[in-house]
Amino acid sequence: MSEEGNLLSIFEAHRGKLSDKWSSYLSLYDHAFRPYRDRKISLLEIGIQNGGSLEIYAKYFANFEHIVGCDIEQRCALLRYGERIDVVTGDCNEASTKRAIACICAEFDIIIDDGSHVSGDIIRAFLNYFPLLKPGGIFVVEDLHCSYWQNWGGGLYRDVSSISFLKMLVDVVNHEHWGNGEKRREPIDRRFPGILPNDAEALLSEIHSVQFHNSICIISKALPPQNALGLRLVAGTEALIDEGPRLSGGASSDESDQSANPQAFFRDIKAENEVLHKMIVERDAQLVSLNNLLVDRNSETQTLNNSLAEQRMVCRALHVALAAAPPIRVHWLERLLWRTTLGRRLCRILFIRGQAQLLEDYRLVLGSGQFDLLHYIKYNQDALHEIPDPILHYLMVGYREGRDPSPLFSSRKYISEHGMVGDINPLVHHIRSTMK
């Protein structure tokens, strides 16, 4: 028979090797271990330090078959116990340590992980030793508060902490309701790549329950059929509110298909973020090139606006010129003479530079595109008040005064280069000679 009292009183009365536990653990363990208390159980504790806990468990489970303690601290090999209590030294997650433990005892009813409390170690210890747990046994993870602490590989929002891993086991227990076709191991594989062994699906299918308490998680093991929801049982005959349950009696859970439920499928937010980030970078680059294009277009628009302003200026000048220009009146005799080649020759021989010729020259110069109105207005402001029409001014007096019809044409240079004598307009001469 086990020693009198509960685990707390046994702990408090203990005088041998030292052990330290948080007070809430003792009442919790008393409740969790009670079903095993009088049985011939085997217990493994990972992390024993001073070894007191093994002595206390030996007192609590008086009919125990085997108690094994494991510690990475080599000096733990110096700890001496009575029969059926053994200590294995070494890292619990080393294959050799596991082999040494399994040699002493192949299966355990209770496994307690009170080892390093580092998240990675806790997860690996669970995966290594849960297979050594008997169906009906419990696996206890102690001091899970470390899972929230950075120095133990944890943090409240650290998705690879030991508590995050253990939380995922809650979904594993409810695997049959996922409705998305995924295996139990798939979500864990995604979050903890490479951590699960090949036979993880079988291991996970034996998780019967997952209980969380302050700093403690208790995972119980059962054969897979005992982990299913089971058949729907109906008792009673009066169904005043809903006939449904009576009709569903004896049925198994409808494995609802969740293929249309987007929330039933994994979304790789990290990958999606990366794609979105890439898109933003590309859009930013497009924006920069569009902005550059806009700058180019703006400068083109500016140039066009300037040219428009110049054209408007020319137009205004022409309007003024036209309004002020004396009308070119051609006498009927002159018009008659000018109609024929002979008449024109006669006029020229007689050095008559009449209004009709002036009109013809005006049309010729205007149509040639070689008279730069803007240029002429700009450089001959002084003279235009007399004859405000620039072309008329040039044809009537400007060429004689050596004024130029455009920056490309020098009246004086043309006259001297062509040895022109008499009253011949150099630009008119030039246009006529290029037309021939």
Ligand X SMILES: C[S@@+](CC[C@H](N)C(=O)[O-])C[C@H]1O[C@@H](n2cnc3c(N)ncnc32)[C@H](O)[C@@H]1O
Is residue 217 near ligand X by the rule CB under 6 A? Answer: no
Residue 212: strand pairing partners: 217
Of the candidate spans 48-56, 127-135, 365-373, 381-389, the one that interacts with ligand X by CB under 6 A turns out to be: 48-56
Site for ligand X in 113-132 (CB under 6 A): 114-116, 121
Q: What letter represents residue 424's amino acid?
A: I
Residue 104 CB, nearest approach to ligand X (Å): 15
> Position of tokens 């606006």?
305
Which of 20, 66, 23, 26 shows the shortest CA–CA distance to 47?
20
Which of 157, 135, 146 shows the shortest CA–CA distance to 113?
146
In the complex with ligand X, the residue whose CB is nearer, 3 or 73, is 73
In the complex with ligand X, the residue whose CB is nearer, 30 or 71, is 71
Which of 197, 138, 204 shows the shortest CA–CA distance to 175?
204
Question: How many chain residues bind ligand X (CB under 6 A)?
Answer: 22
Give the Å distances, CA to CA, from 49 to 15, 30, 84, 108, 168: 16, 22, 19, 20, 30
Q: Tell me the residue ranges of DSSP E strands in 207-359.
A: 207-213, 216-221
Is residue 49 near ligand X by the rule CB under 6 A? Answer: yes
Residue 252: strand pairing partners: 231
Q: What letter represents residue 346's amino acid?
A: L
Is residue 55 near ligand X by the rule CB under 6 A? Answer: no
Binding mask 70-109 for ligand X (x = CB under 6 A): xxxx-----------------xxx----------------
Is residue 46 near ligand X by the rule CB under 6 A? Answer: yes
Residue 52 CB, nearest approach to ligand X (Å): 5
Is residue 47 near ligand X by the rule CB under 6 A? Answer: yes
Residue 267 CB, nearest approach to ligand X (Å): 35
> Cβ neighbours of residue 277 under 8 Å, at least 6 residues apart?
none
Q: Which of 3, 5, 21, 179 binds ligand X (CB under 6 A)?
A: 21
> Cβ neighbours of residue 259 under 8 Å, at least 6 residues apart?
179, 180, 181
Is residue 176 near ligand X by the rule CB under 6 A? Answer: no
Residue 130 CB, nearest approach to ligand X (Å): 16
In the complex with ligand X, the residue whose CB is nearer, 150 or 341, is 150
In the complex with ligand X, the residue whose CB is nearer, 19 or 357, is 19
Residue 151 CB, nearest approach to ligand X (Å): 14
User: In angstroms, rounded to a whole number, what is the distance separating the alpha carbons of residues 300 and 436?
Assistant: 39
Is residue 146 near ligand X by the rule CB under 6 A? Answer: no
Q: What letter represents residue 291's amino acid?
A: N
User: In angstroms, rounded to a whole number, what is the distance separating the alpha carbons of residues 350 and 411?
Assistant: 25
Of the candidate spans 17-25, 241-249, 294-302, 404-412, the one that interacts with ligand X by CB under 6 A turns out to be: 17-25
User: In angstroms, rounded to a whole number, what is the distance separating the alpha carbons of residues 68 and 348?
Assistant: 136
Give the Å distances, CA to CA, from 254 to 228, 257, 286, 298: 13, 9, 52, 67
Residue 11 CB, nearest approach to ligand X (Å): 10
In the complex with ligand X, the residue whose CB is nearer, 41 or 415, is 41
In the complex with ligand X, the residue whose CB is nearer, 70 or 395, is 70
Site for ligand X in 343-382 (CB under 6 A): none
Give contact residues for ligand X (rule: CB under 6 A): 19-21, 45-50, 52-53, 70-73, 91-93, 114-116, 121
